[in-house]
Each structure stands twice: as structure tokens, then as C-alpha cells.
Amino acid sequence: MPDITKRTLLRGLAIGGAGAATLSFVPAHAQELPKSQGNIDMEEALKPGPLPEIALGDENAPVKIIEYLSLTCPHCARFQEDTFPAIKENFIDTGKVYYIFREFPFDPRAMAAVMLARCAPGDNYVPFVDMMLQQQRTWATAEDGSAAMLQMAKLAGFTQESFQACLTDQKLLDEINAVRERATDDFGVNATPTFLINGKKYSGEMSVDIMSALINSML
């Protein structure tokens, strides 16, 4: 998967730009325990990349989960709204799961959104991601992507100046591309959401019941 460059990022935000996001997804799985798509070296996967980890829970928890997500992915949005709150309450907050969010943007708007999450005032990455996923259709397919995303960003405390500074931060862009490349090259990630769970890889959204059963099977 080629890197998203500053040029394609800005083109994707332009009015009527050819890079306007098409909401990306992988097919939802049937309601049964998902089959692992293979084994991965979890110790290696847990090593941080160029960006600080965005993590919740006890790092010594018995179950470790890394989620790769794209903010233009409808399945990621549904998982965050329908499944994640219960997983957080029942497993993360109780010390059973250590949960890491990692970026895997598929398109320029997804890249812009996650750059803004990394720049969110007050270190509010997770609340910003929640907001962008909840309002996904407001900005991801808007004709004027830049205006739509600026409106969302201002709700999180951005100014016009801080918005522009974030989206033109070449170092941050390179670091997110590096996170995505490592996911593909080292762990075979090619869809979102993808979960690395205690050395197993799973792709596609999961219901509360399915993910809970999967976690319980590893406790």
C-alpha cells in the first residue's frame, strides 16, 4: 500500500477532490466466534513504533489487544459505538485487557482525521476519535472535506491555525505512514478493523458477545 503524501492528503480534502473518501470496509462476519487469520509475534507487535502508544488499561493484563483502525471505515465506527464501550467496562476497566489503538488510514481523509487526533488539544486522542467515528458521514464524504473537518476540529478546540499546522506536519505524516507500513509488512494487516489479540490476528468488526467470548477464552 503506497504512502499517503502531503500532496495526496491536501488533494483529498479539496472541494470535489478525486481523493474524497469512499467509506472503506471489510465484510462483517457471521455471528460466531471468528477464526484466527494466523499467528503473530505478540511480543514484537507490542513494541512501540515511532509514535507514542494510545493505550487503555493495565499493561500487565492477561489479554493484550491491538486494534488497527481507519476513521473512514464504517465497520470501525460501528465497533466503536456498539461494542467497544462494553469491552472497556467489562474487561479494560477491570484489569483483564490492555488495549492499544493504532492508525491504519486507507485514504487521505482518514489520514487527515488521525493526524488531527494526534494533535488534539489536551491530549484528547480517544475522545476525538470517538467524535470523528460518530460523525463519520458528516466529514468523510463531504464535498468540501477541509471545511467539514475544520468544523469538527473546532469542536475539539482547534483554531484555523492549529488545524493547518497539524495537517502540514510532515514528521507526523511520515510517522503515521510508518505505523501503517509496519502493520502491513510485519503483521499482514490489510483491512480495518484488524485486531491482534494475544498472538492471533482477526479482521472485521465483532459484536459484544463475540469479542467477550473471545477474550474470556484467553483468560
Rounded Cα–Cα distance for residues 87 and 210 (Å): 11
How far apart are alpha carbons 144 and 140 in whole angstroms?
Answer: 10
pLDDT digits (tens, 9 = 90+) for 24-82: 444 444 446 788 999 999 999 999 999 999 999 999 999 999 999 999 999 999 999 99
Q: What's the rounded Cα separation, in Å, for the pair 190 and 196?
A: 13
Q: What is the mean pLDDT of residues 83-97?
A: 98
How many residues are there in the chain? 219
| Predicted pLDDT at 9 | 59
pLDDT over 90 (residue 21): no
Look at residue 23 and tell me whether its pLDDT is greater than 70: no
> H helices within 136-218, ranges in order?
136-139, 145-155, 160-167, 170-187, 208-216
Q: What is the pLDDT of residues 170-200, one digit of tens each?
A: 999 999 999 999 999 999 999 999 999 999 9
Which tens digit of pLDDT belongs to each residue from 125-166? 999 999 999 999 999 989 999 999 999 999 999 999 999 999
Q: What is the mean pLDDT of the chain?
A: 89
- What are the residue boundaries of the structural domains of the chain, listed by start? 6-19+33-216
Instruction: Tell me how far apart the alpha carbons of residues 175 and 170 are, in angstroms, rounded to a whole number.
Output: 9
Contacts of 85 (CB under 8 A, 6+ apart): none
Of 58, 68, 64, nearest to 43 by C-alpha is: 64
Fill in the amino acid letter for 25.
F
Beta bridge partners of 100: 55, 66
Q: What is each CA distance from 146 to 19, 93, 163, 177, in whole angstroms?
A: 12, 36, 10, 20
- Summarised one tens digit per residue, pLDDT across range 92-108 is 999 999 999 999 998 99
Which CATH architecture group holds 6-19+33-216? 3-Layer(aba) Sandwich (3.40)
